[in-house]
Amino acid sequence: MAPSESVLTEANRGGVSAPASARAGETITVTVGTASAGDTVNVWLFSEPTLIGTAVVAADGTVRVTIPADTVAGAHRLAVTAADGTLIGWSPITITADGQLAFTGAAGMGAGALVAFLLLAAGAGVLVVRRRRRAAAAE
């Protein structure tokens, strides 16, 4: 059962550590601590409580979980509970979109730039031909 978000307070923040940010769809390492090695834990992502993994804590005190690909970008909390539902700790995490950079107009502009260059070159060519014809007609 998911812990209530109201249980995640500043007073019990910590106890686990996670990256400060991750991309939706990315697999991350969460440090629970060697005292929990061998124990089964549940990893939850809040603001909507979403179980993102159940795992056995490795000897080095870590578990690996994948942030769901459809996670909304923004500030979230990552909470870890023991198998009996007891909160071990939580950590803030910022989720970014699916790993793609925001479109700024630069990526994918190669074909458009090529077409613009060719049109500009064709226009310049027409001007040169007209000037030569005018110069030849004036002689």
Using the 3D structure, point to which of 61, 79, 96 is the last residue of a domain. Answer: 96
Pair (9, 39) in one structural domain: yes
Report the alpha-carbon distance of residue 126 to residue 82 in Å, rounded: 76
84-120 in b/e form (b: 16+ CB < 10 A) is eeebbbbbebebbeeeeeeeeeeeeeeeeeeeeeeee
**63 and 111 in a common domain:** no
Read off the CATH number of the domain in which 13 is found: 2.60.40.1930
Residue keyed to tokens 């939850």: 44
Same domain, 109 and 92: no
Q: Assess whether 80 and 130 both reside in one domain.
A: no
Residues 38 and 85 reside in one and the same domain: yes
- Whether residues 114 and 90 share a domain: the answer is no
- 54 and 82 in a single domain? The answer is yes
Residues spanned by the domain of 123 = 105-139
Q: What is the pLDDT of residue 127?
A: 81
Residue 70 and residue 26 share a domain: yes
For 58-78, how does the pLDDT look when each residue is reduced to its tens digit (9 = 90+)?
A: 999 999 999 999 999 999 999
User: What are the average pLDDT values for consecutive 10-residue runs of the chain, which has 139 residues?
Assistant: 81 92 95 96 92 97 95 94 94 81 50 76 80 80
pLDDT tens for 75-87 read 999 999 999 999 9
User: What is the total count of domains within the chain?
Assistant: 2
76 and 43 within one domain:
yes
Q: Do residues 84 and 122 share a domain? A: no
> Are 82 and 114 in the same domain?
no
Does residue 84 share a domain with residue 118? no
